[in-house]
Structure 1
């Protein structure tokens, strides 16, 4: 009788456990968005900006991943996992994957790259994001950054934007060329800007559709006629984004660029900022500015993201009634502005009576008298180069400053995820077989033997 009762209890307990397991499984499947992300860098956790974008998405979106034999499997898997997270949040998203080599007729309908592309399609709107745009080299060898969420969310936001914002980058004065700022350019294009080169000697005027003029790192001054054309453009609705570049002639031969700045009450002090005791990681010529209180820098301050500037020129401001300005980048009071450029070129510098005492201002945001953005003026431009812009908050500052200037309300700023070096292990064929037989055969068999032994002993007892 006791054996029968024990057997019945065991059956009832087993059925209860199976029932609880089934109910728990059904419950978890019904809560598709409920998950716990235990990965080191929160790989499967979407930012608040993305969650809000997906909540407000009210149109059907088709996401198509195109890969080939040239696609890195790691890239393909990470992009696919990201898209699956978006699908969980919004049922209007449909996801398909195609092999370029097996489905060339489908790939021909889109602009795709053999190394992999993700197409965002809704109605007649299409946007292709190449995989290589989502992955950048990390801070250390073997590490990488994944910015897929920022680019995909921005593409979804742009589905509601019909017209592109046209911005022109001035050339002809040895400015920093666009082919050295491809990451910034692709970031701007991803936020619905149309970026074009402009040589005034060839064009003769600033195009009527130009919504901003960019002058980045010039190495020579504007001529008098170019300065007149630019001032005429800025007297209207035109906006200016200027980031100065270091040059040993800037103190004596840049009267027209200085004239442009003076319209907004900004003065180039013709001194290179030096911060003697700021960081052991960088030379004194690399400045980590403190942020002023402004919309451009608010998110950077909240996220504790720093901007790095090298060979930055000190700026100052004199009040102008029509164009109030706000300092957005500044040094500590330990810094000074080196005025002896000849000595600096010989890597000799030291604080003396001729130098400008800190704190120094390195960037200004200029508004109109009715508080509309008019200009961004920076004392340095090297942080915009491809080899530097990924450091800390450089990219965010660059995009935020343009977004403020153009009054972009739907700008997406999501930090790229830092991913550690992928750990690999080199094993022989024999070791691989041992791992396979051990995990697939030996351990399961061991559990069966132990379980069977316990069951047999209880049955006999």
Structure 2
């Protein structure tokens, strides 16, 4: 075949079409590569959707706020052997790294770096544990703290019930970036309710240390007390204990106080509350509004205030209290006290005073009815105490006298000590400035803060679980408010089991009518209409 016969087959048009196809293919491939590179730089929350029912990989608003507020670098060391990583935990860590430029995640293989953890602890660190580090501060998160387990009594084996990765990691970040840990003293000696394991875990997540305190043997509430916790005492305080608590509060102290109905007179306990403008009414509160109780009128589902830092995160959620008492604001309370309701009943609640002889939960003649506060937050600005001011004045007077004597002696010694005088005056000026600054600090005002809840049972594990941790979140929010934490770490673990649906009595009745009556009737009516139309044909 001649070349001239072959050439027509390869016309210019075909060559152009082929070149165009090749060029477009190359262009599309280049675009795909660029898009992949861009996607690789995007945060994982945009490129990897959390499809888990429990939203195990998603990070909440509290974590985002803490990450945004970081001004220090935090490194999260993930101690895991290559190929044996926990995929859920690794994905969560990747999302932390995407939150802030101050957070870096570094995996350390214990096989390659066997001595790495020894610089942070002498104990053995289990695989898939995390070490949070910021400067000289560090905190270890053991792997067994990340997953919650409980025994299954049907199989007598342990099973995983919750994933607490976010709560533990966020708490560790807050811990290593904080300047110092606040201390909460827990009052004992009056048969107080014991702090449960879940409450202790919530306190630790808030990065607060706890110490026991017996005011019968202690001279005062310790100076390093950031919070005093009085957890539902079953017997009254002594007069001396009452005075020590009030003295502590008057100096700008903070207290979290709860009570449960005991049927006993507790005048000294009440005196502490009365000093801050509130007291409890005799008896327990009963709800008649079906939208404000769950199953039983003693299980109260109160209105949650939206105007407080303590309850802001609970907007649109339920809290649950049992056997609460009504809190009454005193008319003669000091004008400087700020008393804010946190939880209140409906307008149709009433008080049963004679609980021991109560025969019915329905309202009877003579029983007080209305909207009652069940939890309050109280604050008061206090100035430097008179004793502090007297000490400051005495120190200033002594310093002034000492300075006059020094000047007199210097005048008789002559001019040969001029240089020494200059040095002495400079030192004196420096000391005076330092003391003046100290005096200014001593004169600064402080703020007393107190939270009182009339049902300590609201922090019972069973009640807390029925509202998906909202009760415990209120507790940690209150601790954060008293410690001036910008963001409270009240992140509950994510359940890997059945979630409870909390319904008020009214909602339960409504859905019972819908599912047991309306839907069956609607189905029968629809079937009847269809049957009738077919029969007519």
Q: Indicate the residue corresponding to 1:165 in structure 2.
A: 182
Tell me the CA shift for residue 52 of structure 1: 4.7
Q: Indicate the residue corresponding to 1:341 in structure 2.
A: 355
The 3 A distance-change label for structure 1 pair 116 and 258 is farther
- How does 1:312-323 map onto structure 2 within 5 Å? 312-319=324-331, 320-321=333-334, 322-323=336-337
Tell me the CA shift for residue 90 of structure 1: 4.0
Deviates more, 1:257-266 or 1:117-126: 117-126
Q: Would you say the 8 A contact 1:221–1:254 is kept in 2?
A: yes
Cα deviation code 1:306-332 (max 9, x no counterpart): 211111111111141232311211111
Q: Count matched residues.
A: 405
Q: Indicate the residue corresponding to 2:278 in structure 1.
A: 266
Tell me the CA shift for residue 266 of structure 1: 0.8
Cα deviation code 1:9-44 (max 9, x no counterpart): 765665454333323222322435542525255544
Tell me the CA shift for residue 270 of structure 1: 1.9
Deviates more, 1:368-377 or 1:319-328: 368-377
- How does 1:70-109 map onto structure 2 within 5 Å? 76-90=86-100, 92=102, 93-98=104-109, 103=114, 106=117, 109=120
Q: Indicate the residue corresponding to 1:230 in structure 2.
A: 245
Structure with more of its chain in helix, by fraction: 2
Q: Would you say the 8 A contact 2:50–2:58 is kept in 1?
A: no
Paired with 1:356 and 1:241, the residues of 2 have a C-alpha distance of 28
Q: Indicate the residue corresponding to 1:214 in structure 2.
A: 229
Q: Would you say the 8 A contact 1:83–1:95 is kept in 2?
A: no
Cα deviation code 1:398-447 (max 9, x no counterpart): 111122223322434456545567xxxxxxxxxxxxxxxxxxxxxxxxxx
Q: Which has the larger radius of gyration?
A: 2
The 3 A distance-change label for structure 1 pair 367 and 137 is farther
Paired with 1:193 and 1:334, the residues of 2 have a C-alpha distance of 39
Q: Would you say the 8 A contact 1:64–1:98 is kept in 2?
A: no
Q: Indicate the residue corresponding to 1:384 in structure 2.
A: 459
Aligned partner of residue 312 in structure 1, secondary structure: coil
Aligned partner of residue 201 in structure 1, secondary structure: coil
Q: Would you say the 8 A contact 2:270–2:279 is kept in 1?
A: yes
Aligned partner of residue 167 in structure 1, secondary structure: strand
Paired with 2:127 and 2:351, the residues of 1 have a C-alpha distance of 47
Paired with 1:338 and 1:306, the residues of 2 have a C-alpha distance of 24
The 3 A distance-change label for structure 1 pair 380 and 133 is farther
Paired with 1:331 and 1:135, the residues of 2 have a C-alpha distance of 37
- How does 1:2-401 map onto structure 2 within 5 Å? 14-32=25-43, 34-35=46-47, 37-40=49-52, 41-66=54-79, 76-90=86-100, 92=102, 93-98=104-109, 103=114, 106=117, 109-110=120-121, 117-136=129-148, 144-178=161-195, 180=196, 182-249=197-264, 253-276=265-288, 277-278=290-291, 281-292=294-305, 293-301=307-315, 304-319=316-331, 320-321=333-334, 322-344=336-358, 348-369=360-381, 372-390=447-465, 391-392=467-468, 393-401=470-478
Q: Would you say the 8 A contact 1:66–1:112 is kept in 2?
A: no
Paired with 1:156 and 1:396, the residues of 2 have a C-alpha distance of 19
Paired with 1:143 and 1:339, the residues of 2 have a C-alpha distance of 45
Q: Would you say the 8 A contact 2:183–2:208 is kept in 1?
A: yes
Q: Would you say the 8 A contact 2:252–2:448 is kept in 1?
A: no
Cα deviation code 1:277-333 (max 9, x no counterpart): 2468532221111123322112211xx222111111111111412323112111112
Query: CA-atom RMSD, angstroms?
Result: 3.5
The 3 A distance-change label for structure 1 pair 137 and 315 is farther
TM-score (norm 1): 0.76
The 3 A distance-change label for structure 1 pair 379 and 121 is same
Instruction: Mark the runs of 5 or more structure 1 residues left unpaired by the alignment.
Output: 422-461
Tell me the CA shift for residue 352 of structure 1: 1.3
Q: Would you say the 8 A contact 1:339–1:356 is kept in 2?
A: no
Tell me the CA shift for residue 243 of structure 1: 0.5
Paired with 2:130 and 2:149, the residues of 1 have a C-alpha distance of 20
Q: Would you say the 8 A contact 2:185–2:212 is kept in 1?
A: yes
TM-score (norm 2): 0.66
Tell me the CA shift for residue 83 of structure 1: 1.0
Cα deviation code 1:88-126 (max 9, x no counterpart): 3445513224569x9487368436775964221122101
The 3 A distance-change label for structure 1 pair 212 and 53 is closer
Q: Indicate the residue corresponding to 2:512 in structure 1.
A: none
Paired with 1:234 and 1:246, the residues of 2 have a C-alpha distance of 24
Q: Indicate the residue corresponding to 2:415 in structure 1.
A: none
Cα deviation code 1:204-228 (max 9, x no counterpart): 4322211221111111111222222
Q: Would you say the 8 A contact 2:126–2:143 is kept in 1?
A: no
The 3 A distance-change label for structure 1 pair 8 and 420 is farther
Q: Would you say the 8 A contact 1:145–1:416 is kept in 2?
A: yes
